[in-house]
């Protein structure tokens, strides 16, 4: 038995009306409804969660959201809580995506609140970290990743087993530039060492670390064959059923 089952998640971002989302989810379901080798997750926009959830009901494909608020309820106009996501049968939630950090000012402390709220509601958080090109070129990649991982996951120990980390170098997101498998492996192994420091080696060995950043059918196999790359968080290529399914097959 493999220690870590691969997990491939499609982050549809702010794309797809309900009808388009139903079409895409149906096409993915046709190929992956019975997929047991890899955990497959679809993360449509909030507006399409219910419709996509109905389509993938009774399959092995799971539903995820792209964000949530840390409070259980209250006067937070425009926000969505963990229990609201559970209500729609979400299993996962992406937290601290670089687009949330860049455009909506999410800090590690905010992400940490959200991670704890997600776990309290039995949602599995996919926690995103990654450096900018400027930071990489200045030789600060490890420092940046360490700050983000420790800040986003502080105060968790055994619960870390429920967390998925996504390493997403910002310069590779939506740019067509992918980290080389060696670069990604190095970052993933480093993240696992940080996780060991936050908990213990046994716990850190169970945590799945996804790679994200222009993963496509053409580069997925090499990336997914690295020892510490346990899956992918897919943006652009997840909007096309054929590409997404092909990436999942490379993870099998
Ligand atoms: C993402 O935004 O999580 C992502 C990995 O996007 P893309 O695959 O388009 O680079």
pLDDT at residue number 23: 98
Question: What are the domain boundaries of the chain?
Answer: 7-250
Confidence of residue 158 (pLDDT cuts 50, 70, 90): confident
Architecture of domain 7-250: Alpha-Beta Barrel (3.20)
Phi/psi for 229 (5° steps) reads -100, 110
pLDDT digits (tens, 9 = 90+) for 210-219: 999 999 999 9
pLDDT at residue number 111: 98
Residue ID of nearest Cα to ligand 1 atom 2: 235
| CA atoms of 65 and 31, how far apart (whole Å) | 22
Concerning whether 37 is annotated as a catalytic residue, the answer is no
| CA atoms of 231 and 208, how far apart (whole Å) | 8
pLDDT at residue number 177: 87
pLDDT at residue number 174: 86
**CA 60–ligand 1 middle distance (angstroms):** 23
Whether the pLDDT of residue 1 is over 70: the answer is no
pLDDT at residue number 199: 94
Secondary structure string (H, E, C) spanning 43-100: ECCHHHHHHHHHHHCCCCCEEEECCCCCCCCCCCCCCCCHHHHHHCCEEEEEECCHHH
Q: Return the structure tokens found at 224.
A: 């997914």
pLDDT digits (tens, 9 = 90+) for 107-141: 999 999 999 999 999 999 999 999 999 999 999 99
Nearest atom, ligand 1, residue 212 CA: 5
**CA 170–ligand 1 middle distance (angstroms):** 9
Q: What is the mean pLDDT of the chain?
A: 96
225 conformational bin, left if phi > 0, alpha if psi -120 to 50, beta if neither: alpha
pLDDT at residue number 178: 87
Q: Choose the catalytic residue: 97, 131, 188, 250.
A: 97
Whether the pLDDT of residue 18 is over 60: the answer is yes
Nearest atom, ligand 1, residue 13 CA: 2
Concerning whether 97 is annotated as a catalytic residue, the answer is yes
Distances in Å between the Cα of 211 and the Cα atoms of 72, 83, 122, 215, 220 are: 30, 28, 23, 8, 10
Whether the pLDDT of residue 198 is over 70: the answer is yes
pLDDT at residue number 3: 83
Beta pairing class for 124-129 and 164-167: parallel
**CA 33–ligand 1 middle distance (angstroms):** 23
**CA 186–ligand 1 middle distance (angstroms):** 19
Q: Return the structure tokens found at 59.
A: 């399959």
pLDDT digits (tens, 9 = 90+) for 28-48: 999 999 999 999 999 999 999
pLDDT digits (tens, 9 = 90+) for 44-99: 999 999 999 999 999 999 999 999 999 999 999 999 999 999 999 999 999 999 99
């Amino acid at each position: 038995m493999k220690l870590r089952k691969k997990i491939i998640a499609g982050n549809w971002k702010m794309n797809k009306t309900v009808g388009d989302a139903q079409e895409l989810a149906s096409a993915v379901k046709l190929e992956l409804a019975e997929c047991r080798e890899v955990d497959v997750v679809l993360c449509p926009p909030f507006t399409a969660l219910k419709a996509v959830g109905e389509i993938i009901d009774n399959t092995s494909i799971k539903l995820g959201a792209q964000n949530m608020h840390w409070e259980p309820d209250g006067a937070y106009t425009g926000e969505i809580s963990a229990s609201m996501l559970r209500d729609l049968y979400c299993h996962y939630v992406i937290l601290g995506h670089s687009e949330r950090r860049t455009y909506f000012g999410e800090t590690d402390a905010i992400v940490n609140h959200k991670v704890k709220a997600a776990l309290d509601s039995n949602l599995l958080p996919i926690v995103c970290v990654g450096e900018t090109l400027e930071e990489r070129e200045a030789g600060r990649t490890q420092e940046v990743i360490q700050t983000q991982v420790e800040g986003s996951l502080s105060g968790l120990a055994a619960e870390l087993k429920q967390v998925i980390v996504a390493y997403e170098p910002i310069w590779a997101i939506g740019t067509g530039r992918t980290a080389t498998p060696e670069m990604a492996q190095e970052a993933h192994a480093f993240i696992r060492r940080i996780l060991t420091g936050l908990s213990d080696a046994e716990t850190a060995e169970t945590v799945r670390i996804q790679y994200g950043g222009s993963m496509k059918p053409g580069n997925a196999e090499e990336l997914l064959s690295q020892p510490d790359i346990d899956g992918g968080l897919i943006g652009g290529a997840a909007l096309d059923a054929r590409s997404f399914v092909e990436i999942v097959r490379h993870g099998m």
